[in-house]
DNA sequence: TGGAGCACCTAC
DNA sequence: TTAGGTAGGTGCTCCA
């Protein structure tokens, strides 16, 4: 089919005619991306002929924008829904709550404003659903005071209610009842083992989520009611997000499928906007057919602004000139909507629709209308959270485009910008802007990459090149304004650029399978999709903990965060530094910390606090003493919650790993690898959670026992291996553990070949494993041959695991090549030298290469832009003249080179190439070059 | 000049 | 209102 026929009259290289004027410094043959776009056109032809539309021409919109410009923007027509005879099934993708008026016929309070859970989702047929869930109220627990009976309930409730009311500074919602109910319930604290002693707790149900905190505070401060003396109550589960509370109680997990049985829900407003009582909905576990994913609409967009020369665009001053949008259904290969909104005219682009506006305010308003029409479930792009969306919103405010800031799915709710700062040790302080868009998940690709990937550069260009081997269209930022001020051909050039910037995030999302991976994570951990990008690690563990606890009638206490003493972590075995030209076998404990917790049943619920063992009359057979002296009951007395959670996570990981083995597609392999890694990280963060002293439920007894066991185990492993594999026992040589970190040992077995090292390694791992409690298991991982051990946490070697004949890769740990605080020149130099040493086994060659590079550096043969080493040195470099900076940097690189590649003591086998020797041979030329350079 | 203290990044 | 952990190498500044 002729992809160009729609474009009759317009030459393909049309832009060449426009190579006049002041912006003539760009190349203009059609880019690969334009050809790619044109290919989409072919695929679209049939659909369009069927639907009888001509979607991809230039449309001079002027004032005439209508959401009906292209029927494909809309979702498929929704079939009529009869609550009495139809079941409604949808995949829930976002969940929040709001305060709303009571809906007659729904469970819960009968008057006033009530919290209503709102679930957004999509059906199999691609129709969107907004489901209001009624009747669920927030609650928390306190232990019932001594002598409390059901006769005291109403008095307690009345007193607490009036205390909370009195505590309110203002009562703008006109609340008259704060405490809805107080019930006596039999529960048990999850913190510490106390002989399964179930006790009376008061379950206090409040009218609104935000009333929980004051009620908890008042009870803590000291509360008096009836004839009971004033006393302070500790609270339980008063710090749980309302959404999580609901999800846990109704067994809903992130992104699961929800069923509303016929006769149990009602249609309230437009199609598929429904109301249901919270006990009526059915949540399907994400298994079997319910693992599927609905045809979600993913919108990716990018904006261009006409900034002033050298000034970062400001929304108050600089206009938005283009917005490109691409919409793709999850699971399909290509976007089915490709459109660009431009200010002023723009030549046509095969494969995309161009909508031209004469007024910027019209462009903005129309784009918002477009978003509402497309009704995307997921909104993505590159840095949209902190740039594009805030810019559009601020720009629309400046131009007073009143209908713009309604971008969510709920009518009448305005999208508002807020600043938030999020701080964690893991990610440092991160300032972000937050924009509410009810019912749409904002999935900023930059944020995903910042969280999940350690990269040297996070520009869209660098990231695209890294993952897709593709780059942005070549348009310098500085000429954007000129292109806009040119003619319809230069604006076309800009539009192609803009389209590509909207397209790349979609491609990346697809390639990295972000959406699917995040959904899996939401399903495994039970939190909403949005939490995964906006919150930390802890909430995932809390969600799992609560679910597991509820099954056993356990409640989670609220603890005051207080920083305490740090505890001891893992052991790093003192390395026997050197270059090893013999195979070194590496044995690892797989999932060390999780398996320790499982093997020894370490949990909040199994912890014996001081004196408990005697008080409960436990015999020594009932509990264990950990290396740190803490006591935990065995699983025969009570199985811990944390071991249960870990078993779930690790069996999911096992499954992912099995799929990984079967998979042949290299990229899907990578993704499955990512998933199993995510599950591993989740399992590891359970340990981290117990050690997080400023956290929801720290328990240092658990975390320090875990690391204590770990320290013991790695020492024992070293001793076991070195005691069995000796000449005295008939082996070729005495084995020696030359290094080890946390959960691994590197062993010199004294064998000559990789295959022999693998054999002995496997045998040794199995034998050592038999000394430990399952599921603790030492595994043979790999052989390094040769192996360069520079220092603790710094080494390199050729990595053999699958085959004994060829190495999989050169593995570098902690060396400049993998660190991001060095310039690429250093990384490349060290990398080449390591290759020369390990693969070619030619240390002299490595020295020669280093000399060459340093000489190039000193003679100004290397671009200065490559030379920024660290932040500190950037400053130094700027303070010196360029040539002097070269010398400084060359010295730095030289010392870095020596330390990294020749760190060895003279006794090690470097035949005739010890550091001092090489250093001497380099020196004369070094001095000469230095003199030349500083001349 | 050498060591304490810090920032940064990584290993696990 | 919210935040996983410790060990450890390296380069830099500051100070005695």
Domain at A233, CATH number = 3.30.70
Q: Say if residue A186's pLDDT is above 60.
A: yes
Distance A629 CA to B5 C1' (A): 33
Distance A25 CA to C14 C1' (A): 51
Percent of chain A predicted with pLDDT > 70: 87
A500 with A610, same domain? no
Decide if A792 is inside a domain: no
Residues 277-336, chain A, CB closer than 7 Å to nucleic strand B: none
Among A807, A839, A828, A852, CA closest to A900: A828
**Domain boundary, last residue among A248, A280, A315:** A248
**Which residue is nearest nucleotide B8, judged by alpha carbon to C1' distance?**
A821
Cross-strand pairs, A329: A297
Residues 443-462, chain A, CB closer than 7 Å to nucleic strand B: 454
A96 with A198, same domain? no
Among A303, A361, A324, A354, CA closest to A480: A303
**Domain boundary, last residue among A216, A248, A280:** A248
Scanning every strand, the nucleotide with its C1' closest to A592's CA turns out to be: B12
Tokens 């008095």 sit at which residue?
A155
Scanning every strand, the nucleotide with its C1' closest to A811's CA turns out to be: B11
Q: Say if residue A673's pLDDT is above 90.
A: no
Binned at pLDDT 50, 70 and 90, residue A104 comes out as: confident
Q: How many CA atoms lie within 13 A of A345 on its CB side?
A: 5
Decide if A68 is inside a domain: no
Distance A871 CA to B5 C1' (A): 19
A273 with A301, same domain? no
Decide if A12 is inside a domain: no
Among A330, A458, A329, A322, CA closest to A386: A458
Q: Say if residue A270's pLDDT is above 90.
A: no
Binned at pLDDT 50, 70 and 90, residue A725 comes out as: very high
Stretch A373-384: mean pLDDT: 95
Scanning every strand, the nucleotide with its C1' closest to A572's CA turns out to be: C7
A605 with A468, same domain? no
Q: Say if residue A174's pLDDT is above 60.
A: yes
Give the per-residue pLDDT at A27: 47
Strand C bases contacted by the protein (CB, 7 Å): 1-13
Scanning every strand, the nucleotide with its C1' closest to A210's CA turns out to be: C1
A567 with A706, same domain? yes
How many domains are contained in chain A? Answer: 5
Distance A585 CA to C14 C1' (A): 44
**Which residue is nearest nucleotide B10, judged by alpha carbon to C1' distance?**
A814
Scanning every strand, the nucleotide with its C1' closest to A690's CA turns out to be: C4
Query: Got the DSSP string for A72-102?
Result: GGSPPPPPP--TTT--EEEEEEEEEEEEEEP
**Which residue is nearest nucleotide C13, judged by alpha carbon to C1' distance?**
A872
Give the per-residue pLDDT at A664: 83
Q: Phi and psi (nearest 5°) for A359? A: -115, 135
A419 with A283, same domain? no
CATH of the domain at A388: 3.30.420.10
Distance A696 CA to C3 C1' (A): 10
A408 with A422, same domain? yes
Give the per-residue pLDDT at A668: 63
Stretch A555-584: mean pLDDT: 90
Binned at pLDDT 50, 70 and 90, residue A271 comes out as: low
A603 with A728, same domain? yes
Decide if A671 is inside a domain: no
Distance A781 CA to B12 C1' (A): 15
Distance A793 CA to C15 C1' (A): 31
Scanning every strand, the nucleotide with its C1' closest to A872's CA turns out to be: C12
Supply the range of the domain harboring residue A269. Answer: 88-135+250-291
A793 touches strand B (CB under 7 A): yes
- Distance separating alpha carbons of residues A446 and A843, to the nearest angstrom: 41
Quick: pLDDT tens for A525-555: 999 999 999 998 899 999 999 999 999 999 9
Quick: pLDDT tens for A334-360: 999 999 999 999 999 999 999 999 999
Q: Phi and psi (nearest 5°) for A296? A: -65, 150
Distance A905 CA to C6 C1' (A): 29
Enter the tokens of residue A465.
């090149």
Q: How many CA atoms lie within 13 A of A707 on its CB side?
A: 16
A236 with A269, same domain? no
Please list the helix, strand and coil fractions of chain A in percent, rounded to the nearest 5, in that order.
40, 20, 40
**Domain boundary, last residue among A454, A488, A512:** A512
Among A363, A327, A326, A353, CA closest to A484: A363
Strand B bases contacted by the protein (CB, 7 Å): 8-12
| C-alpha A3, offset from chain centre | 40
Decide if A111 is inside a domain: yes
How many C-beta atoms surround the C-beta of residue A732 within 10 A?
13
Among A42, A62, A61, A44, CA closest to A53: A44
Residues 809-848, chain A, CB closer than 7 Å to nucleic strand B: 812-814, 818-821
Quick: pLDDT tens for A275-332: 999 999 999 998 778 888 899 999 999 999 998 888 899 999 999 999 999 999 988 8
A127 with A146, same domain? no
**Residue A528, CA distances (Å) to A518, A524, A531, A650 in order:** 10, 11, 6, 21
Angle formed by the axes of helices A871-879 and A882-901, nearest 10°: 150
Give the per-residue pLDDT at A865: 59
Distance A870 CA to C13 C1' (A): 15
A744 touches strand B (CB under 7 A): yes
A286 with A397, same domain? no
Distance A422 CA to C2 C1' (A): 7
Binned at pLDDT 50, 70 and 90, residue A51 comes out as: low
Q: Say if residue A892's pLDDT is above 90.
A: no
Give the per-residue pLDDT at A564: 75
Binned at pLDDT 50, 70 and 90, residue A20 comes out as: very low
Residue A42 vs residue A75, higher pLDDT: A75
Count of residues in chain A: 935
Decide if A104 is inside a domain: yes
Scanning every strand, the nucleotide with its C1' closest to A456's CA turns out to be: B9
A571 touches strand B (CB under 7 A): no
Decide if A609 is inside a domain: yes
A490 with A422, same domain? yes
Residues 865-894, chain A, CB closer than 7 Å to nucleic strand B: 871
A47-51, A55-59, A185-189, A902-906: segment of lowest average pLDDT = A902-906
Quick: pLDDT tens for A407-465: 998 888 899 999 887 777 766 677 889 999 999 999 999 999 988 888 888 999 999 99
Percent of chain A predicted with pLDDT > 90: 58
Give the per-residue pLDDT at A560: 85
Stretch A904-925: mean pLDDT: 39
Decide if A214 is inside a domain: yes
Among A412, A404, A426, CA closest to A360: A404
Distance A186 CA to C16 C1' (A): 66
CATH of the domain at A617: 3.90.1600.10
Contacts with A361 (C-beta within 8 Å, 6 or more apart), sequence order: A396, A399, A400, A401
DSSP three-state, residue A359 = coil
- Distance separating alpha carbons of residues A594 and A544, to the nearest angstrom: 15
């Amino acid at each position: 089919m002729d992809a160009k026929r729609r474009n009759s009259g317009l030459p393909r290289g049309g832009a060449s005619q426009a190579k006049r004027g002041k912006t003539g410094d760009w190349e203009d043959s059609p880019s690969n991306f334009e050809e790619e776009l044109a290919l989409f056109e072919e695929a679209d032809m049939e659909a369009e002929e069927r639907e009888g539309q001509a979607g991809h021409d230039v449309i001079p919109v002027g004032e005439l924008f209508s959401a009906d410009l292209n029927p494909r923007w809309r979702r498929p027509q929704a079939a009529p829904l009869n609550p009495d005879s139809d079941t409604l099934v949808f995949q829930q993708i976002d969940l929040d709550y709001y305060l709303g008026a009571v809906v007659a016929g729904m469970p819960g309070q009968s008057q006033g404003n009530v919290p209503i859970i709102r679930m957004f989702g999509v059906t199999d047929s691609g129709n969107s659903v907004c489901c209001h869930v009624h009747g669920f109220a927030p609650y928390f627990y306190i232990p019932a005071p001594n002598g409390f009976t059901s006769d005291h309930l109403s008095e307690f409730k009345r007193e607490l209610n009036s205390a909370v009311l009195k505590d309110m500074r203002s009562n703008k919602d006109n609340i008259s009842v704060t405490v809805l109910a107080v019930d006596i319930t039999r529960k048990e604290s999850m913190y510490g083992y106390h002989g399964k002693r179930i006790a009376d707790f008061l379950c206090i149900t409040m009218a609104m989520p935000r009333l929980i905190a004051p009620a908890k505070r008042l009870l803590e401060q000291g509360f008096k009611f009836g004839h009971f003396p004033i006393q302070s109550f500790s609270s339980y589960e008063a710090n749980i997000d309302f959404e999580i509370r609901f999800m846990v109680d109704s067994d809903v997990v992130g992104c699961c499928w929800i069923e509303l049985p016929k006769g149990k829900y009602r249609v309230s407003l437009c199609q598929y906007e429904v109301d249901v009582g919270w006990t009526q909905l059915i949540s399907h576990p994400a298994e079997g057919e319910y693992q599927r994913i609905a045809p979600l609409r993913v919108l990716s967009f990018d904006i261009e602004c006409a900034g002033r020369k050298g000034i970062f665009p400001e929304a108050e001053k600089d206009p938005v000139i283009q917005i490109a949008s691409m919409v793709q259904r999850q699971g399909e290969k290509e976007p089915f909507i490709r459109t660009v909104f431009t200010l002023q005219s723009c030549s046509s682009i095969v494969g995309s629709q161009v909508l031209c506006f004469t007024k910027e305010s019209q462009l903005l308003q129309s784009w918002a209308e477009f978003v509402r029409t497309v009704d995307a479930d997921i909104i993505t792009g590159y840095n949209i959270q902190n740039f594009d969306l805030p810019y559009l919103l601020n720009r629309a405010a400046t131009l007073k485009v009143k209908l713009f800031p309604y971008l969510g799915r709920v009518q009448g709710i305005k999208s508002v910008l807020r600043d938030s700062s999020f701080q964690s040790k893991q990610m440092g302080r991160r300032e972000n802007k937050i924009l509410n868009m009810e019912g749409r998940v904002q999935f900023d690709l930059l944020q995903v990459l910042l969280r999940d990937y350690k990269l040297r550069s996070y520009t869209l260009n660098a990231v695209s090149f890294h993952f897709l081997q593709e780059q942005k269209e070549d348009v310098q930022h500085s000429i954007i304004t000129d292109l806009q001020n040119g003619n319809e051909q230069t604006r076309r050039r800009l539009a192609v650029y803009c389209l590509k910037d909207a397209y790349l995030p979609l491609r990346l999302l697809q390639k990295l399978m972000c959406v699917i991976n995040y959904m899996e994570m939401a399903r495994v951990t039970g939190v909403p999709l949005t939490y995964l990008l906006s919150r930390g690690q802890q909430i995932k563990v809390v969600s799992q903990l609560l679910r597991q606890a509820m099954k056993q009638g356990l409640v989670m206490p609220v603890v005051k965060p207080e920083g305490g003493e740090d505890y001891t972590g893992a052991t790093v075995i003192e390395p026997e530094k050197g270059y090893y030209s013999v195979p070194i076998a590496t044995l690892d404990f797989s999932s060390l910390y999780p398996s320790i917790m499982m093997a020894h049943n370490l949990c909040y619920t199994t912890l014996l606090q001081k004196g408990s063992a005697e008080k409960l009359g436990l015999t020594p057979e009932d509990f264990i003493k950990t290396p740190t002296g803490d006591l935990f009951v065995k699983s025969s007395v009570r199985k811990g919650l944390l071991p249960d959670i870990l078993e779930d996570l690790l069996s999911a990981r096992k499954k992912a790993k099995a799929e990984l083995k079967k998979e042949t597609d290299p990229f899907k392999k990578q993704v499955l690898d990512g998933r199993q890694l995510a599950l591993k990280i989740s399992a590891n963060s359970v340990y981290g959670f117990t050690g997080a002293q400023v956290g929801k439920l720290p328990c240092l007894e658990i975390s320090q026992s875990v690391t204590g066991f770990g320290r013991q185990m790695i020492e024992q492993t070293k001793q076991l291996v070195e005691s069995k594999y000796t000449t005295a026992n008939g082996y070729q040589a005495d084995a020696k553990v030359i290094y080890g970190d946390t959960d691994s040992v590197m062993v010199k077995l004294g064998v000559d070949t990789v295959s022999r090292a693998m054999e002995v390694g496997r045998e040794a791992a199995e034998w050592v494993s038999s000394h430990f409690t399952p599921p603790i298991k030492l595994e043979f991982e790999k052989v390094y041959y040769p192996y360069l051990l520079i220092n603790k946490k710094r080494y390199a070697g050729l990595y053999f695991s699958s085959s004994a004949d060829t190495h999989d890769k050169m593995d570098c740990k902690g060396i400049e090549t993998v660190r991001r605080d060095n310039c690429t020149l250093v990384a490349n130099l060290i990398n080449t030298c390591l290759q020369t040493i390990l693969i070619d086994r030619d240390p002299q060659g490595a020295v020669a290469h280093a000399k060459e590079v340093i000489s190039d550096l000193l003679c100004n043969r290397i671009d200065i832009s490559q030379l920024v080493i660290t932040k500190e040195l950037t400053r130094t470099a700027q303070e010196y003249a360029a040539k002097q900076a070269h010398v400084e940097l060359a010295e730095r690189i030289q010392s870095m080179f020596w330390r990294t590649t020749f760190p060895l003591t003279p006794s090690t086998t470097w035949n005739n190439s010890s550091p001092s020797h090489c250093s001497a041979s380099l020196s004369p030329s070094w001095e000469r070059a230095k003199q030349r350079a500083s001349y």
